[in-house]
Amino acid sequence: MWCRVLAIRVRFADGTAKELNVNGISIRELFKILNLLLEEYIVVVKSHVVTEDYIVKDGDELVLYPVVSGG
């Protein structure tokens, strides 16, 4: 079975970003890889809020908005 490796970019609200090569996985699985809690972020792709079952696509830029307060 052939699996294409996808390149995605995860951008955090503090301005930092990570480039990742992943198979077509869901945000739920991506968060496990990144050791993040779904409770603590809202994910936006192409200006749309998406839920944890969203399957990341090649070239996607995911913006992660922290739910936790900064102060």
Partner 1 sequence: MVNCSICGRPAVYIMKAGGKAYCEHHFLRYFDKKVRKTIRKYQMFREKEHIVIAVSGGKDSLALLHYLNKLSKRVPGWRISALLIDEGIQGYRDRTIKDFLRIVDELSIEYRIVSFKEEIGYTLDEIVKIGMDKGLPYLPCSYCGVFRRYLLNKAAREMGGSVLATAHNLDDIIQTYLLNIIQNNWDKIPKLAPASKGPFHPKFVRRVKPFYEILEKETTLYAILNNLYPEFIECPYAIHSVRWSIRRYINELEEKHPGTKYSLIRSLLNIIEILDKLGYGKDGVIGTCSICGEPSSNNVCRACMFKRELGILT
Residues that bind partner 1 (CB under 8 A): 13-14, 37-40, 42, 44, 48-54, 65-71
Distance of closest approach, residue 32 Cβ to partner 1, in angstroms: 11
- Establish how many alpha carbons lie within 13 A of residue 65's alpha carbon, considering only the half-sphere containing its beta carbon: 10
Do 38 and 31 meet the contact criterion of CB atoms below 8 Å apart?
A: yes
In angstroms, rounded to a whole number, what is the distance separating the alpha carbons of residues 56 and 15? 21
Q: Residue 7 or residue 66: which is nearer to partner 1 going by CB?
A: 66
Distance of closest approach, residue 69 Cβ to partner 1, in angstroms: 6
Q: Residue 21 or residue 35: which is nearer to partner 1 going by CB?
A: 35
